[in-house]
Amino acid sequence: MATGFPTKANWSAGDLLTSSQMDDLAATVNTLSTASSTSGQVATSAGANAAVTWTDMPGMTLISTTSLSGASVTLSSIPQTYKKLILFVKNPINATASGALNIKLNNGSGAFISGTYLSTNFSYVGSPIKTPANYTNTNADQGFWLEIDDYTNTSGNIKPILFYGFWTAPDTPFNSAGMWYGSSAITSIVISNTGGNFTSGTALLYGVR
């Protein structure tokens, strides 16, 4: 048999070949083993002739879903395994009065954001991240989207954020960008409504790899 041909002719799907079985005693053929992988992962090259590594598929993963209730909603023990967090709060309703929505990262007040709604500019320095106007307490067709990049970084003092959303009465979109000051990794988020206790709504937390 010619050098380089397998010594076994009838292989089955899924068979794992060793170097000797492949008559490749110099081990110049790299085989792909799933031994260290988990379901859904993809193979990534680690360089020429190096064994592949298995990593989770890049993309956006829904980490948690929380129904809004009470004076505040705290998301804690946020996993530190993503590049970016996205918090989507939709249909926030409260029982008492219209109010602005506040978001505190690590329960702090480190926002420096600036943006616009309609023709109005707004800016917050050293406060919670907050909507620039009150959300109507009885209307569900509202929400906001908060992106926090580099949220696990502990070597710098700023984390880039994008914050945008929509409220009603009158229908108004807003957008803003800025930084969150703080050298700690973001491990918790507190959401509250200055108008009163939440009675319904949902907080969806996503992680982006």
Binding site for other proteins (CB under 8 A): 63-64, 66-79, 102, 104, 107, 109-110, 112, 124-128, 130, 157, 181, 190, 192, 197, 205
**Least distance to other proteins, CB of residue 124, Å:** 8
Centroid of chain to Cα 6? 46
Compute the C-alpha angle 161/108/62, nearest 5°: 50
Nearest residue (CB) to other proteins, 52 versus 186: 186
Tokens 């110049």 sit at which residue? 28
Query: From CA 42, how far away is CA 66, in angstroms rounded?
Result: 30
**Least distance to other proteins, CB of residue 163, Å:** 16
8 Å CB contact between 162 and 85: no
> How many CB atoms sit inside 10 A of residue 22's CB?
17
Query: From CA 175, how far away is CA 189, in angstroms rounded?
Result: 20
Nearest residue (CB) to other proteins, 31 versus 194: 194
Nearest residue (CB) to other proteins, 54 versus 122: 122
Nearest residue (CB) to other proteins, 6 versus 196: 196
**Least distance to other proteins, CB of residue 36, Å:** 24
**Least distance to other proteins, CB of residue 191, Å:** 9
